[in-house]
Structure 1
Amino acid sequence: MATGERTMIEKRHLYTSDDLLRSTPSITAYNSTSLTLRQELANHGVPRLGAEAARAAIADWGGRASDITHLVFVTSTSGCLPGADFELLGLLGLPPSTKRAMVEILDRMESKLGLGKEKLEASRAVMAQYGNTRSSCVVLVMEEMRRWSEERGLRTAGEGLDMGMLVGFGPGLTVETIVLRALPIN
């Protein structure tokens, strides 16, 4: 069974050109070490794709870019500083004073679930120390919680609580949720 048959994905998209693919074959080679190159492509391409989408939205709206006061932006691939949101300002001709908001998944989770900042403290610490490590961040966050719980003299590895919920978000609309029972700290 082909991958597309199992996943129902009929087409995949990649921001690139034929010239780039010919000059850097490692991008399409199985098991190649092209992560740095791919990240550079994302850092360059994400703001440009965002600008293209924004220009289309502005045209549909019928307004002028100069009337825009806020830019709300989200990406899970571009990891450069200054961020892709800042570059997008320039590409759209918006002044640097435009209020920018990066949609951050942890902030949204806290807000929607009514959580206090301390509930995602370990997640933020892992993000600050390691960045978004995708799936492996689950193990890192759980270890951080266990370590903090032990340092604070709490009775369980789950910040002193008996039960907890692990929620993981993947690319697109992937969501995984599991209820966990915390182990006692001995």
Structure 2
Amino acid sequence: MGISLYLARNLPKLVGSNIKNNMAEAFTPIGIKDWNSLFYVVHTGGAAILDQIQENLGLKEDKLRASRHVLSNYGNVGSPCVLFILDEVRKKSLEEGKTTTGDGLEWGVLFGFGPGEKTTTKKRYFHLTEEILKENPSMCKYGAPSLDARQEMVVPEVPKLGKEAALKAIQEWGQPVSKITHLVFCTSSGVDMPGADYQLTKLLGLNPSVNRYMIYKQNSYAGGTALRIAKDLAENNAGARVLVVCSEIVAMFFHGPSENHLDILKSQALFADGAAAVIVGANLDTLTEHPLFELVWASQAIVPNTEGASVGYLREMGVTFHLSETLPYVIGSNIENSMATAFSSISGGISDWNSLFYVVHPGLGTILDQIQENLGLKEDKLKASWHVLSEYGNMLGPSVLFVLDEMRKKSKEEGKKTTGDGLEWGVLFGFGSGLTVETVVLHSIPIITPPCGSATS
């Protein structure tokens, strides 16, 4: 039947909402900010795309005339389009007596658009090495039975990685491990009995009577789930101190390529190893404990009719994970309902979404784009999530805790008044299979700067 090509209805808006970022990245080194001072060679994907570019860049009516001319006279001829437009620009410039080949202007830009998605991830961390893969060739062949090899690898290492994160959290907390009353451990990497919660209890030397809660296979929303459960435990058990640990080694998700299963490449381009830990409590000892955020309200919800948007299957070959192309748009179209539900519980109500700070699971760049667009957020509102996606990738459950940590660190570094980018209220979002959404309303804590000359510990 040849090639089938499908275009999403929101493609023009998607191109339009990203065009400013592309322009800024291209022209900031040159020092150009006036988009009307340029000439344009823009692929003729469709009139709606050209309209969105013109609107989002604030271009004058004639700026895209070469593109509209080619679209009108030749249609969308694929990759040759931009060369047709380039030729049209230089011909018209000559015919109209312009001083340059670029409509009389010095600088211009050429844009082509097509299938694909940049992950925006620069770095990721993995337990897997070339040596490990050479020793386990079945992991490199799509469909080959390799579950035993993967289990033997991740089951002992997941709690060890979790231990490293837990020790950092405990050290910053500054209290002995004997004060930890509850443990919430989440992972989508490997399953065993007794579980990773049991192994971590031994590794940390926790009290044998510690109350343990093990969360398996909740993938990217697990960080939010763990915080919600920890909040309930802390509020309903006097004196409770809950250690939350999320640890992932994504060797279970790694597979060799397959021409018949190209959709798995997206998750493999995103997923990475990581671990994070926090301690949650209520009725703090203000002399010895110094909170970072307050968990005010938490809820989990399933988005109706979205079961296939994000799915994973445990097989003899490991875990196969599939992300629907519609996933970012499903999240984007439902995000305002989640916000309205969450903040209607706050006294006085909050409806200005730009008055909040955001701790959003960095699952995909397009998910962050859709959230920003649908909530009308300013450019820097999701900077903590973008930073984690760029520097660590999608670590599933730990990711949102990495974003929380980035938020409070940057707030302090930049001299903000609170741990939430200087703002009072914020929200944490986790998204995962179901489609399941975890929402946590956060209240920031004032950052106290010691007076000049005073000593700190």
Question: TM-score, length-normalised on structure 1?
Answer: 0.51
- Please tell me the root mean square deviation across aligned C-alpha atoms, in Å: 4.5
Among 24, 31, 40, the alignment partner of 2:142 is: 31
Post-superposition shift, 1:43?
Answer: 0.4
SS for the counterpart of 2:213 is: strand
SS for the counterpart of 2:153 is: helix
Among 6, 21, 30, the alignment partner of 2:132 is: 21
Among 2, 5, 9, the alignment partner of 2:121 is: 9
Please tell me whether residue 84 in structure 1 is matched to residue 196 in structure 2: yes
Identical columns (%): 34
Cα offsets for 1:56-112 (capped at 9, x unmatched)? 111111111122111111111120110000010000011221011224659959x82
Give matches, 1:91-106, under 5 Å.
91-103=203-215, 105=218
Equivalents in 2 of 1:69, 1:37: separation in Å? Answer: 34
Give matches, 1:56-75, under 5 Å.
56-75=168-187
- Residue 112 of structure 1 aligns with which residue? 299
Distance change (3 Å), C-alpha of 1:71 and 1:27 = farther
Letter in structure 2 aligned against 1:29: C
- Residue 160 of structure 1 aligns with which residue? none
SS for the counterpart of 2:151 is: helix
SS for the counterpart of 2:187 is: coil
Post-superposition shift, 1:35?
Answer: 3.2
Contact in 2 for aligned 1:51/1:92 (Cα 8 Å): yes
Distance change (3 Å), C-alpha of 1:8 and 1:39 = farther
Equivalents in 1 of 2:173, 2:138: separation in Å? Answer: 37
Q: More helix per residue: 1 or 2? A: 1
Equivalents in 2 of 1:10, 1:80: separation in Å? Answer: 33
Q: Which has the higher contact order (CA 8 A, sep 6+)?
A: 2
Letter in structure 2 aligned against 1:93: G
Equivalents in 2 of 1:114, 1:17: separation in Å? Answer: 38
Contact in 2 for aligned 1:50/1:88 (Cα 8 Å): yes
Cα offsets for 1:37-59 (capped at 9, x unmatched)? 12221101101011111111111
Post-superposition shift, 1:13?
Answer: 2.5
Post-superposition shift, 1:113?
Answer: 4.8
Question: TM-score, length-normalised on structure 2?
Answer: 0.23
Q: More strand per residue: 1 or 2? A: 2
SS for the counterpart of 1:46 is: helix
Unmatched 5+ stretches in structure 1: 116-129, 137-168, 179-186
Distance change (3 Å), C-alpha of 1:114 and 1:44 = closer
Distance change (3 Å), C-alpha of 1:9 and 1:114 = closer
Equivalents in 1 of 2:142, 2:180: separation in Å? Answer: 43
SS for the counterpart of 2:163 is: helix
Please tell me whether residue 51 in structure 1 is matched to residue 185 in structure 2: no
Cα offsets for 1:149-186 (capped at 9, x unmatched)? xxxxxxxxxxxxxxxxxxxx9972554777xxxxxxxx
SS for the counterpart of 1:74 is: strand
SS for the counterpart of 2:212 is: strand
Give matches, 1:165-184, under 5 Å.
172=396, 174-175=431-432
